[in-house]
Amino acid sequence: MSSYDALRLDTGHHPAEVEAARLVLTRMGISPEELVNTPGHRKTVPVFAEYVPRVAEAVSVGTSRAYRSYWNRVVREWGERRLDEPTPSEIRRLAEHIRGQVVHRRNTRGGRCAVEHLIAALRCIYSHAVADGLLDEADNPALRVRKPRRLPSTRRGLSDESMSAINRVAGQTGNDPMLDTLLLRLHTETACRRGGALALTLADLDETQCVVLLREKNDTVRWQPVSPTLARHLRDHAEQRGAETSDDALLRYRSGKPLTRRRYDHLWHRLGQHLPWVATQQISTHWLRHTTLTWVERHFGYATARAWAGHTDSSHASATTTYIRADLADIATALAALTGEQHPLAESRK
């Protein structure tokens, strides 16, 4: 029995009506089998209060930290609404409402970052809903809301004089100058981000080859050369403050507790009290990254600076980067010039 016969028997319709239906289906590119085998109804779309916690459990710690406050705001505003209810215009209204509540500081940029993060947080929720089969891609309203255009960063590389002043004040003030100067040296040599430094464990330090294993944003992992002096001080610091097993945090307070982001906040607040230009320009740890990478690019070229930074995203890079990649020896050679110390990996290249 053909599919059309089955359709005729199931409906009980006149043959002429069935034939007319067949013609319509043919023009639409749909076969009777597709009608018979149509899957069941889509899962019930949950409300935000129910679904957001499930998304928060499924993402990385870094993603959860970045979006948590925005997810909480969405739950407060739309907690009892289904995911498929908000429209793009409602998302824009919520974004503008959040923009208007941003606390204005010297480095505030009109609430652009808050709007961008809200849209990104919503896109994260909806991408999981699409993957779970709760919505179709076309039903994602957050994709139809444009993020604000990013303005050029005001950060820049610092001068030798500025770096000297920062290191001098850090070493002469505060309740733990040894820790603060060690942090500044680590970020200056590696150009790592705060998250990369805080994630370091005892097992991530190879004192023999003078490298540390950095785990940073987007789950990137790389070995980064450090000077023999820094490697030795990192080892001494960890051992003196109670790091014993391979999984113990490398950077620690005097009490032996692992370092947190609050140490950075206190450090730059104190530096701003003694160096007014630090507070005025809102200088932070990320400025050290700009400083080092600018120096590397000027003296050793773009390829070495890109490798030093740990950049792997090729979306904004030219095809030339495929052929001019720098390796660990290139970074170690540049580091030796920066610190004035020989590096084992740089020597092995001769």
* Domain ranges for the chain: 48-139, 160-312+320-339
Buried b / exposed e over 181-209, threshold 16 CB at 10 Å, is: bbbbbbbbbbbbbbebbbbbbbebbeeee
153, pLDDT greater than 60: yes
Q: What average pLDDT does the segment 209-231 reach? A: 93
Phi and psi at residue 107, to the nearest 5°: -100, 10
- Look-up: residue for tokens 């003078």? 210
35, 11 Cβ separation under 8 angstroms:
no
pLDDT at 25: 66
pLDDT band, very low/low/confident/very high, at 1 (cuts 50, 70, 90):
very low
Q: How far apart are CA 322 and CA 324, in angstroms?
A: 6
9, pLDDT greater than 50: no
Pick 24 or 113 by higher pLDDT: 113
pLDDT at 33: 58
Gyration radius of the chain's alpha carbons: 28
Q: Is the dihedral of CA 187, 191, 194, 197 positive or negative?
A: negative
pLDDT at 26: 72
Over residues 287-321, the pLDDT tens digits come to: 999 999 999 999 999 999 999 998 866 545 556 66
Which of 7-16, 139-148, 270-279, 304-313 tops mean pLDDT?
270-279
Over residues 70-86, the pLDDT tens digits come to: 999 999 999 999 999 99
205, 234 Cβ separation under 8 angstroms:
yes
Over residues 175-203, the pLDDT tens digits come to: 999 999 999 999 999 999 999 999 999 99
Q: Is the pTM of this model over 0.95?
A: no
Q: Is the dihedral of CA 91, 97, 103, 108 positive or negative?
A: positive
Q: How far apart are CA 330 and CA 343, in angstroms?
A: 11
47, 82 Cβ separation under 8 angstroms:
yes
Q: Is the dihedral of CA 20, 22, 23, 24 positive or negative?
A: positive
- Give the end-to-end CA distance of the chain in Å, rounded to a whole number: 80
Torsion of CA 337, 338, 343, 345, to 10 degrees: -80
Torsion of CA 94, 129, 314, 290, to 10 degrees: 40
Q: How far apart are CA 165 and CA 196, in angstroms?
A: 25
Pick 286 or 219 by higher pLDDT: 286
Strands laid side by side in the 221-225 sheet = 205-206, 211-215, 221-225
Buried b / exposed e over 266-297, threshold 16 CB at 10 Å, is: ebbebbbebbeebeebebbbebbbebbbebbb
Third-level CATH fold of 160-312+320-339 = hpI Integrase; Chain A (1.10.443)
177, 167 Cβ separation under 8 angstroms:
no
Q: How far apart are CA 35 and CA 37, in angstroms?
A: 6
Q: How far apart are CA 183 and CA 176, in angstroms?
A: 11
Would strands 205-206 and 221-225 be described as parallel, antiparallel, or unpaired? unpaired
| Non-local CB neighbours of 280 within 8 Å, separated by 6+ positions | 106
pLDDT at 75: 94
Q: How far apart are CA 333 and CA 301, in angstroms?
A: 12
